[in-house]
Chains A and B, each alone.
Chain A
Amino acid sequence: MPGYVFQFRLVFQELPLLLGGALTTVHLSVLTLLLSLAVGTLGAVCRLSRHAWLRRPATWYVEAIRNTPLLVQLFFIYFGLGQINVDVPNYVAALAGLVLNNGAYLTEIVRAGIEAIPKSQHDASVSLGMSYVQRMRHVIFPQAFRVIYPPLANQFIGIILFSSLVSVIAVEDLALRGKMIISRSFRSFETYIVVTAMYVVMTVTISAALKLLGRRLFRHA
Chain B
Amino acid sequence: MTSVPNFVQDQLNRWDALLLAVGLWNTVRLCAVGLLIGLGIALVVGLARASRRPWLWVPAAAYIEVIRDSPILMQLYVIFFALPILLKVEIPVFWAGVAALVVNGSAFMAEIVRAGVQSVGRDQWEAARSLGMSYLQIMRWVVLPQAVRVMIPPGVGLLIGLVKDSSVVSVLSYVELTRAGQILMEKTFLSFQVFGLVAALYFAICYPLSRLARYSERRLAVGG
Q: Does B85 make an interface contact (CB < 8 A)? A: yes
B residues whose Cβ falls under 8 Å from a Cβ of A = 1, 65-66, 69-75, 77-78, 81-82, 85-86, 88, 160, 163-168, 170-171, 178, 181-182, 185, 189-192, 195-196, 198-199, 202-203, 206-207, 210
Given the complex, which residues of A lie within 8 Å of B78, measured CB to CB?
192-193, 196
- Docked-complex contact A189 and B206, CB < 8 angstroms: no
From 43 to 83 in chain A, residues with beta carbon under 8 angstroms from any chain B beta carbon are: 63-64, 66-73, 75-76, 79-80, 82-83
In contact, A189 and B85 (Cβ under 8 angstroms): yes
* Cβ-neighbour of B203 out of A68, A161, A175 (below 8 A): A68
Whether B160 pairs with A67 at a CB distance below 8 angstroms is yes
Bound complex: CA of A69 vs CA of B210, how far in Å? 14
Q: Determine the main DSSP class of B at the interface with A.
A: helix
Nearest-neighbor residue (CB-CB) of B164 within chain A: A69
Complex: how many Å from CA A167 to CA B206?
Answer: 25
Residues of A within 8 A of B (CB-CB), count: 40
Residues of B within 8 A of A193 (CB): 78, 82
A-B pair count, CB < 8 Å, reads 119
> Do A67 and B70 have beta carbons less than 8 Å apart?
no
Contacts of B73 in A (CB 8 A): 164-165, 167, 175
B199 touches A68 (CB 8 A): yes
The CA-CA distance from A118 to B86 in the complex, in Å, is 57
A residues adjacent to B (C-beta < 8 A): 1, 4, 63-64, 66-73, 75-76, 79-80, 82-84, 157, 161-162, 164-165, 167-168, 175, 178, 182, 188-189, 192-193, 195-196, 199-200, 203-204, 207
Pick from A64, A71, A192, A204: contact of B81, CB below 8 A: A192
Q: A162-B71, A164-B71 are in contact. Are A66 and B210 (CB under 8 A)?
A: yes
Q: How far is the CA of A204 from the CA of B68 in the complex (A)?
A: 10
Question: Which residues of chain B have C-beta atoms less than 8 A from A75's C-beta?
Answer: 178, 181-182, 185, 191, 195
